[in-house]
Amino acid sequence: MKKADSVEEYIENNNHFKDALEILRELILSTNLEETIKWSAPTYTLSGKNILGIGAFKNHFCLWFFNGVFLKDEHNLLEKAQEKTKALRQMRFKKLEDINKPLVIAYIKEAIENQKNGKELKPVRATKKDVTIPDLIAEEIKNNKKFKDAFKALTPSCQREYCNHIIDAKRESTKLSRLEKIKPMILKGAGLHDKYKNC
């Protein structure tokens, strides 16, 4: 699909739904939302926050509600675009006659109110996997302040490598011998695999 630099161009590029898209646009512009183009599609914002967008595809067109998860949706008009979608909801239409103007306006106004009231799902920043601390290391942390301080000073990836090194041992005797081997390394602030890489 050709990229659009304006809403008019987007509508022209999706000529098969031209009249319907123009009606949706008109309904949205009857509110106080600002019109812009983001991701090559018409997007409508309030104080710089994304509220909704218009989308057109081969067999349907839709309104995207960026925080649609907070809409009451008493008429069951919204659906997730994908199973893993968290906040985004889509109101789909197949033809012009599917647009119920009063209902569409009601959903748009609710979305605007929700944003004004601070209802938004903030994206969760990707974090490194949590470190699972085995009992042997936990005991050492509890009973040895120097060890505790040294372990906490390590990067999460180094901590995880040391913990997994103990967890991966099948026998208790192996776990103990591994602990004895890694203790001086941890106290020096070295990573388990520092020979091969910088932690």
* pLDDT tens-digit series, residues 183-192: 999 999 988 8
Residues 62 and 108 placed together within one structural domain of the fold? yes
Helix (H, G, I), strand (E, B) or coil at 135: helix
DSSP summary character for residue 69: G
Residues 82 and 156 placed together within one structural domain of the fold? no
Residues 139 and 110 placed together within one structural domain of the fold? no
Residue 126 pLDDT greater than 50, yes or no? no
Residue 199 pLDDT greater than 60, yes or no? no
Select from 99, 113, 100 the least CA-distant residue to 67.
113
Residues 13 and 111 placed together within one structural domain of the fold? yes
Residues 139 and 62 placed together within one structural domain of the fold? no
Residues 17 and 105 placed together within one structural domain of the fold? yes
Residue type, 41: A
Residues 79 and 158 placed together within one structural domain of the fold? no
Question: Residue 118: what pLDDT?
Answer: 85
CATH number, domain containing residue 27: 3.90.1150.200
Question: Residue 165: what pLDDT?
Answer: 92
173, part of any domain? yes
Select from 28, 35, 39 the least CA-distant residue to 1.
39
> How does pLDDT run across 160-179, given as a tens digit for each residue?
999 999 998 889 899 999 99
Which residues form the domain of 49? 7-116
Residues 19 and 62 placed together within one structural domain of the fold? yes
Alpha carbon distance 178, 81 (integer Å): 49
How many domains would you assign to the chain? 2
Region 24-43: what's the mean pLDDT?
93
Residues 86 and 183 placed together within one structural domain of the fold? no
Altogether, the residues listed in the chain come to a count of 199
Residues 141 and 112 placed together within one structural domain of the fold? no
Question: Residue 198: what pLDDT?
Answer: 45
Helix (H, G, I), strand (E, B) or coil at 101: helix
Q: Residue 4, Cβ neighbours under 10 Å: how many?
A: 18
198, part of any domain? no
Region 2-16: what's the mean pLDDT?
88
pTM value? Answer: 0.58
Residue type, 25: R
Residues 111 and 174 placed together within one structural domain of the fold? no
